[in-house]
Structure 1
Amino acid sequence: MVTLRLEGLGARYGKREIISNISTGAFYGGQVVAVIGPNAAGKSTLFKRMAGLIAGPGEVVLEGSTKGRQGICYMPQNINANARLTVYESILLASKQSTPGWAVHDAELSLVDDILHSLGITELAFSNLGELSGGQQQLVSIAQTLVREPEVLLMDEPTSALDMRRQIQVLDFMRSVAKKKQAIVFIAIHDLNQAMRFADQVLVIADGTAQGSGPCEEIITVDMLRDVYNVKARIEKCSQQASHVIVDAIV
């Protein structure tokens, strides 16, 4: 089983320190990890540092992997779409990033078909990327990431352009992917109620540092909401599996 932990991770842009000394316990294959925190807390920078796209101190400790760092895939929040490609072509091209050579095999075509079907976008397969809405482009970006069959998936606000139904569908699907593939799925998300519904673990980032990590019910507390988000809130348990955050006032 793949495991991942962070040891003293940091990153700078020029002289400005964005994240510093972020350390966590181990996250395990099969888990969804919600990465939460205010705007500009450093979540996107953390993902880029974990993916090796930017340098900095500290270490991403990955164990039990069959792909090494190649098994860590990052899906950015902002999507750069080549409007000349069709949806199918763009996903197939993404799959070749993790397979040698340019010959296309039946198994790769089948995987693309399965992912399109699972995300409910089969009808878009031969549409040009430039014709898609923001939400549709976001779903295609998820497909481009999944087709690489990552062991660790870093998703930066993957549902921000989706309506409520699609958000629930995608988050539920990503939870099933984590379980089925025994992958670790990190999702940066602002909706704490969705985080508590779909995530196994949560990592809180604020002011470029880790404010806590662990099971949702242990980390998402009224004290954390006050200290990190500056709100007065209640957490009400709706069922044995779900709780909800209710904000009463801004502190």
Structure 2
Amino acid sequence: MVALALENLGARYGKVRIFEDISTDILRGGELTAVIGPNAAGKSTLFKRIAGLLKGEGVVHLSGTASDKAICYMPQDTGANAVLTVYESVLLAAKQGSTWKVDEDELKAIDRILKALSISDLAFRNLGELSGGQRQLVSIAQALVRNPEVLLMDEPTSALDLFRQVEVLHFMSDLAARSGMAVLIALHDLNHALRYCANTLVIADGRMAACGPTRDVITPDMLREVYRVDARIESCTLGRPMVIVDNAVN
């Protein structure tokens, strides 16, 4: 099974340091890992650094795979060509880096993914006709059709309504468990992190503030230090932990 670990990662844009010294224990396949932190903390930059799209200090350790294309990065904004249909865009993603010959198995895989994400009815609509949430679901399909072993998802639920957020996160959690895929997912909703993610990595002020099992990481002390809020972690009637924010801290 695939496993990922980060060792002293750093990244800069020109002379501006975005983050440094980010290290993790082994993040194993089959689980979701939340990447959280305030706005502009460097979450997107971290994903680009892990995916090899940005150079910097440190090492990304990847084991349990023989593929040099095991990591797939799903950005917030794909900048997809609006003249393509949804089906064409997903097919194009499937053929990235391979021959243009299309076989029946690939077409069946696209059909399965569109069905799983409940967007089969959008297959032959142009991307430019879609809402932001619909385009976000298409971006997820484009990532999944490439069969990654490590998937970096940069705020994949930000444009989705609550039903779709829960649907997508449940689907990704189940898919990771079944396939052994390691999924790192940038989230702003900390209750979603508590519900769906086994591990959580926190970035703040250009450094890693915490990393470990989600229930050990998302604590009142961390929320006060990183997010500047007074908050409690309470259990709902089903026994699940949830964040309740009382006040902002000036």
Which TM-score band applies after superposition, normalised by the shorter structure? Answer: over 0.9
**What residue in structure 1 maps to residue 48 of structure 2?**
48
Letter in 1 for 2:75: P
8 Å Cα contact 1:197/1:241 also seen in 2: no
- Does residue 198 in structure 1 map to residue 196 in structure 2? yes
Runs of at least 4 residues of structure 1 off by over 3 A?
Answer: none
Alignment of 1:72-151 (within 5 A): 72-98=71-97, 100-151=98-149
**What residue in structure 2 maps to residue 62 of structure 1?**
62
When residues 241 and 82 of structure 1 are mapped into structure 2, their CA distance, relative to the original with a 3 A threshold, is farther
**What residue in structure 1 maps to residue 180 of structure 2?**
182
Counterparts of 1:184 and 1:143, CA distance in 2 = 16
Counterparts of 2:239 and 2:199, CA distance in 1 = 14
Matched pairs, number:
249
Post-superposition offset of 1:241: 5.7
Letter in 2 for 1:41: A
Secondary structure at 2:231's aligned position in 1? strand
Post-superposition offset of 1:114: 0.2
Counterparts of 2:80 and 2:3, CA distance in 1 = 32
Task: Name structure 1 gaps, 5 residues minimum.
Answer: none
Task: Name structure 2 gaps, 5 residues minimum.
Answer: none
State the Cα RMSD in Å: 1.0
**What residue in structure 1 maps to residue 33 of structure 2?**
33
Secondary structure at 2:200's aligned position in 1? strand
**2:214 alignment partner, one of 207, 213, 216:** 216
Counterparts of 1:57 and 1:206, CA distance in 2 = 18
TM-score, normalised on structure 1? 0.97
